[in-house]
Amino acid sequence: MKTPEINFIQPKPTFMIRHIPVYGDLILSPMAGFSDKPYRLICREYGSAMSYTEFVSVDGILHGNERTGQMLEFDPSERPMTFQIFGSDEVKIEEAARRIEQLGPDIIDLNMGCSVPKVSGRGAGAALLREPAKIGRIFARLTRALSVPVTGKIRLGWDQQSLNYLEVAKTLEDNGAALIAVHGRTKAQAYNGQANWDAIAEIKAAVKIPVIGNGDVTCVADIERIKRHTGCDGVMIARAAIGNPWIFQRKDIHQITLAEKSALIRRHLDLMLDFYGEERGLILFRKHVVKYVRGLAHIAQVKAQLVTCTRPEEFIALMNQYEDEAGDRARYSLPEPELLVPAYCA
């Protein structure tokens, strides 16, 4: 008897970065100190469609800095994998990109959005937005030198008096960029004020390459709002994903139970200890746990202990104690220590 053929239907990509398909419309933003391998793995599991490293310095790459090398480590399950770099010198940017291409990323991205003075004050990050011609030269170099697609993450300009996002976007496209991610604020705004989704829509209408929208996506409803407003191909989520990777499953934080949250805290801690070692892993995990437990009832005292404990077993014991006390409150009909609904998701 002939075995029947099974035809598997290949899902259609949400968008393409040159020849690379991306399946999904939500992406964890590259964030210094947060978008490391352990957290990227969690977010990919929960639905982030591709991975970006934290931004890495071209000088760190060229000097063979050990910490920089660790930031570029990734798991095959993270593909499409994007290495994000920052720098100001055109020659160094090209040489650094050539070197890290050998590590096997799918995409290399240039950061043109960082607003912190120690980066933008040295001509890198958002400072490049003041020199569109230089951006054009850098991307022309990179697209000639590399076989992988080159992309860029930008802001709208240096300040409200120099909103040159359309010029920058066209310059990127004309010089080979395969995608543009847009944070809808200026450098001067940093993370203050309201993101300008109208500007993201203008960029989307002006270029033929994919555009990722970023800024003021704080809950699930915002995902659909920014997509409708801008027509963007995907949505990049930054601060709203810290402590809430469930947003990539299109779940708001108040929908997550204490049991789910506790299980992920333990798993994330294990990943951090494996990647960084026991001492450094626990220290670095503290900034995550304060976000995970935000809004839990009766958590203040426990949180203070969690962020000062020095041994993983002590950390786990504190979590066990908190869960046991939560169970006692539930049995005696006292309020369950679930997450409070943030005002912006109400």
Active-site residue numbers? 114
> Nearest Cα to 42, choosing from 72, 80, 75, 84?
75
Longest CA span, the chain: 75
Which residues, in sequence order, are CB contacts of 228 under 8 Å at separation 6+?
none
- CA distances for 251 relative to 78, 179, 218, 235, 248, angstroms: 21, 27, 11, 15, 7
Are 49 and 82 in contact by the 8 Å Cβ rule? The answer is no
User: What is the DSSP secondary-structure string of 77-128?
Assistant: GG-SEEEEEE-S-HHHHHHHHHHHHTT--SEEEEEE----HHHHTTT-GGGG
Which residues, in sequence order, are CB contacts of 35 under 8 Å at separation 6+?
28, 29, 52, 53, 54
Are 37 and 76 in contact by the 8 Å Cβ rule? The answer is no
Terminal CA-CA length for the chain: 60
The four Cα atoms 94, 98, 101, 103 give a dihedral, to 10 degrees, of -120
Are 56 and 72 in contact by the 8 Å Cβ rule? The answer is yes
Residues β-bridged to residue 212 = 181, 234
How do 20-22 and 15-17 pair as beta strands?
A: antiparallel
